[in-house]
């Protein structure tokens, strides 16, 4: 909403932060929907520039939709426009027209879910970074976070190491490690929800948090995050 309130310094800074948050999800979702690396990179850079050159989010708060859905529609339109320009240039150069329905460009069936999953990963990364910086900044706390952070999305059996083994260098017994992991997950949920709160209306925070965390859990990739 801050990014959509005009071209003042606050709006520009908010827009910049959104671009930082969503750049990697946009790039990754384009990759997952069939674009090659250089194509996805070019489209992502072009789309970010497209958003920044003129505040295209102005008035977004009046649309009544999730920002991610709005962003996806903007991305699909941008991809189709770029495809049209590319096709027109090739036709002008004497090359035969491509056998491709322009209205299907940028409408890959899985694109929305891909973007949702990549956004969930981006929010995960931000939540972990903020959690580490604010709750476990240095010394023994930082060492503990480094050792325990792998258990945010998995258990000791999945990691192949027991809490007892893990606790030895930390001077903690298995019960203490188990309690520390539980506390870490609680903190993590709070930070994840806080990041989510920056991208949806207040009434949607809990629903959006559950949805994105479910995507992470179902992706089978949570332990790799």
pTM over 0.75: no
Collapse the DSSP code of 107 into the 3-class scheme (helix H, G, I; strand E, B; otherwise coil) and give the result. Answer: coil
Which of the 8 DSSP states describes residue 149? G
Cβ(79)–Cβ(43) below 8 Å: yes
Report pLDDT digits (tens) over 28-70.
888 877 888 998 999 998 988 887 776 666 656 655 567 777 7
102 vs 181 pLDDT, higher one: 181
- The set of residues, in sequence order, having a beta carbon less than 8 Å from that of 213 and lying 6+ positions away, is 120, 189, 192
Report pLDDT digits (tens) over 175-187.
999 999 999 999 9
**Alpha-carbon 27 to chain mean position:** 10
Alpha helix segments (H runs only) across 93-151: 111-135, 139-148
- The set of residues, in sequence order, having a beta carbon less than 8 Å from that of 178 and lying 6+ positions away, is 163
Domain ranges across the chain: 1-108, 109-225
User: Alpha-carbon distance 59 to 71, whole Å?
Assistant: 13
Cβ(127)–Cβ(191) below 8 Å: yes
Cβ(174)–Cβ(162) below 8 Å: yes
Report pLDDT digits (tens) over 78-99.
888 887 776 665 555 544 444 4
- Three-class SS of 181-210: HHHHHHHHHHHHHHHHCCCCCHHHHHHHHH
Cβ(48)–Cβ(19) below 8 Å: yes
């Amino acid at each position: 909403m801050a990014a959509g309130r005009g071209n003042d310094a606050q709006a520009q800074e908010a827009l910049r932060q959104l671009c930082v948050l969503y750049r990697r999800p946009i790039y990754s979702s384009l990759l997952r929907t069939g674009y090659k690396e250089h194509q996805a990179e070019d489209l992502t850079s072009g789309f970010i520039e497209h958003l920044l050159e003129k505040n295209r989010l102005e008035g977004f708060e009046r649309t009544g939709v999730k920002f991610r859905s709005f962003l996806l529609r903007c991305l699909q339109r941008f991809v189709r426009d770029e495809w049209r320009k590319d096709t027109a240039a090739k036709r002008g150069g004497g090359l035969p027209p491509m056998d491709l329905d322009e209205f299907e460009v940028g409408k890959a069936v899985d694109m929305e879910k891909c973007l949702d999953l990549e956004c969930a990963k981006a929010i995960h990364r931000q939540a972990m970074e903020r959690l580490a910086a604010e709750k476990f900044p240095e010394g023994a706390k930082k060492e503990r976070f480094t050792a325990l952070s792998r258990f945010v999305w998995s258990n000791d059996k999945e990691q192949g190491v027991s809490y007892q083994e893990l606790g030895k260098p930390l001077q903690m017994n298995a019960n203490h490690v188990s309690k520390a992991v539980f506390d870490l997950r609680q903190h993590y949920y709070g930070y994840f929800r806080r990041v989510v709160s920056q991208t949806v209306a207040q009434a949607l925070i809990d629903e959006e948090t559950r949805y994105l965390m479910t995507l992470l859990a179902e992706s089978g990739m949570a332990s790799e995050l």
